[in-house]
Chain A
Amino acid sequence: MIKSLQTSAWMLNLLLLVGMLLSGLMSGMFGQVNLSLAEFFAGLFGQGDVGITLIVQELRMPRILLGMLAGATLGYTGAALQGLLRNPLADPGVIGVSASAGFGAVTAIYLGVAAVSAYAVPLFAMAGAFVATAILMFLASRDSSVLTLILAGIGISSLATAGVSLMMNFASSPMSLQDMVMWMLGSLENRTYDDLMLAGPLIIGGWLLMVGVGQGLNALSLGSETAHTLGIDLNRLRWRVVLGTALSVGATVSVCGAIGFIGLMVPHFVRAFIGHEPKRLLLPSALMGGLLLTLADILTRLPIGHGQLRLGVVTAVIGAPMFIYIIFKTRESMR
């Protein structure tokens, strides 16, 4: 029975990987200029029309890659945090890093430095995420309880949200207010290789910190004391997940804005297929996150609302009903 679960988990991973690559392909072909499969590949390898090559290499590829990185980060960290906190309601926002990155970005817009340099918003956002992580570590380092961690995260999140409101309150012009709101709704539009170079290494660094945490998360299913007696170093596990999340989600939010729901709901989707074992959720959650975010990004290009449909809005509008459906289907086993 255990063997068959292992096999079906790998089948699911394979399926999701193929799905993610296909969605990436669709994302490359679909947009203001629709390309055929042949045109896309010709553009990708620089062998076709110069205009098409420019569209594929400079506009679509960074967007596809960033979308996959961001989606995978949100899915993976969502699953890891739910495992660490042993709470199906946890999401990457719970440690306060996303809200703080948002505060950093809004501050850059408020101060007007966003107009000076394209790097200003992501750098300010990263600074926000960094400060939040430092405060979190200071508040939660005294003891190893997850409750302290959650409460510290909620505190930091509330403070950052208050800061965002303050910036909006004092925004000097309707234009900058609109910029703030738009940024907070999340987007992959007009992202370049520069954004990818800025965020990519930090995102991957965060992932590397979290490699191999699954076993500890599995042990935590039996409570922290039993996990300790199974040989797990809980303090190390906790900081690997928290710092890995802070780094990868902080970088993601810095370049993509706030994208809700992926981190919360993706692990639930995966559970519907392969059960609740925390370790087994990690990889499929990353792949499904990448898949769903890429699909959502394709939807933002539909000619709805004058092309102003934002990524965070799509993930929430589609994600929430799907989430409710999944909870309805699996509520029996959650008791």
Chain B
Amino acid sequence: MTGLCLDRVSVVAGKSEILKAVSFSVAPGEIVGLIGPNGAGKSTAIRAALGLAKTSNGTVTVGGEPVAHMSGRDRARKLAYVPQGAPVHWPLTAERTVALGRIPHLHPWQELADADIEAVENAMRLTDSWGFRGRLITTLSGGERARVLLARTIAVGSQYLLADEPTASLDPEHQLQVMEIMQSQAKAGVGVVIVMHDLSLAMRTCHKLVLLNKGEILAKGTPDTVLTDENVAKAFNVKVARWSDGDSHYMTPHTSLGG
């Protein structure tokens, strides 16, 4: 059991089961995309992996060790989270915000050591945010802020990255930039899980896809086996057009199939 594994994980909210016995795994260096319509349980799946959503059944393990048995610090050093539209409650500088990612490595009263400061700088350079490290997070544009928050997650130096729609609210250039960063993290051996809506981007950047619908897995595997016309119609209720440009394959929804 290597990698991050969700084994028959269920989550109950109120009286309804919003995640039903979902299993998938992420190996080090692999990018897994979680796709599906709104309310399919994509975010819930990564929240369950992080211990943010209480599981009613099933286990989450990293390298065979159940996450539920780990200390908070241990878990934090293995799994880092890029939340969707995260708040920053105080006007901290970009650099200080990124430095918060080093908390799992520090004792409560410990100051940042040189290694921590280096990790912060590397993460900021990688996300192209080093140039405005001294600016307050409140004065940054949406794209700059998203990059700082991504750098914050990368600064953890975790084995796995779990990102909830990291490209939402970004312009096309920054969407591509974020996916390139995810790819470079995977190349460095980090296992990456990304919740995403852009099927074309998912098809081109992910090694594996997990298609969720109504809390259940409809299909999982390589992008071409998952994103068939039939699966897309069933999950999203749309017809898609496809085309290729050399080795790159694209698809875009063009007709709603209606009720």
Which residues of A does B touch, CB under 8 Å? 1-3, 5-6, 86, 212-216, 218-223, 225-226, 228-233, 275-278, 333-335
Contacts and interface: CB of A to CB of B under 8 A. Distances in A.
B72 A222 contact: no
Interface of B: 50-52, 71-77, 79-81, 83, 86-93, 95-97, 99-101, 103-104, 106, 108-109, 111-112, 117, 120, 133-134, 136, 138, 152, 156
Contacts of A222: 86-89, 97, 100, 152
Nearest to A227: B103
Contacts of A231: 71-77, 103-104
Contact of A223 (B76, B87, B117): B87
B90 A232 contact: no
Contacts of B109: 212, 214-215
Given A229-B52, A277-B96, A1 B89 contact: no
B80 A221 contact: no
Query: Which of B83, B99, B100 has the most C-beta atoms of chain A within 10 angstroms of its own C-beta?
Result: B100
A1 B121 CA distance: 11
A131 B103 CA distance: 36
Contacts of B152: 222
A231 B70 CA distance: 10
A174 B144 CA distance: 64
B149 to A, nearest CB: 8
Nearest to A218: B100
Contacts of A276: 90-92
Contacts of B73: 231
Nearest to B133: A1
Contacts of B87: 222-223
A1 B117 CA distance: 10
Nearest to B77: A231
Nearest to B104: A231
A335 B138 contact: yes
A199 to B, nearest CB: 26
A2 B90 contact: no
B100 A230 contact: yes
13 contacts: A1-B134, A212-B108, A215-B103, A215-B108, A215-B109, A219-B100, A223-B89, A229-B76, A231-B103, A275-B96, A277-B96, A278-B90, A334-B138
A215 B116 CA distance: 15
A215 B91 contact: no
Closest 7 CB pairs of A and B: A231-B76, A212-B108, A231-B72, A276-B90, A86-B89, A229-B81, A231-B73
A277 B89 contact: no
Contacts of B80: 229
Contact of A229 (B79, B117, B120): B79
Contacts of A278: 90
Nearest to B71: A231
Given A221-B89, A232-B103, 12 more contacts: A2-B120, A3-B117, A86-B90, A215-B108, A221-B100, A222-B100, A223-B86, A225-B52, A228-B51, A228-B72, A335-B91, A335-B138
- The CB with the most chain B CB atoms within 10 A, among A214, A231, A277, is that of A231
Contact of B112 (A2, A214, A226, A230): A2
Given A228-B51, A231-B71, A6 B111 contact: yes
Nearest to A215: B108
A333 B91 CA distance: 6
A2 B113 CA distance: 10
A119 to B, nearest CB: 37
Contacts of B83: 223, 225-226
A1 B52 contact: no
A2 B95 contact: yes
Contacts of B89: 86, 220-223
B93 to A, nearest CB: 7
Nearest to A280: B96
A230 B103 contact: yes
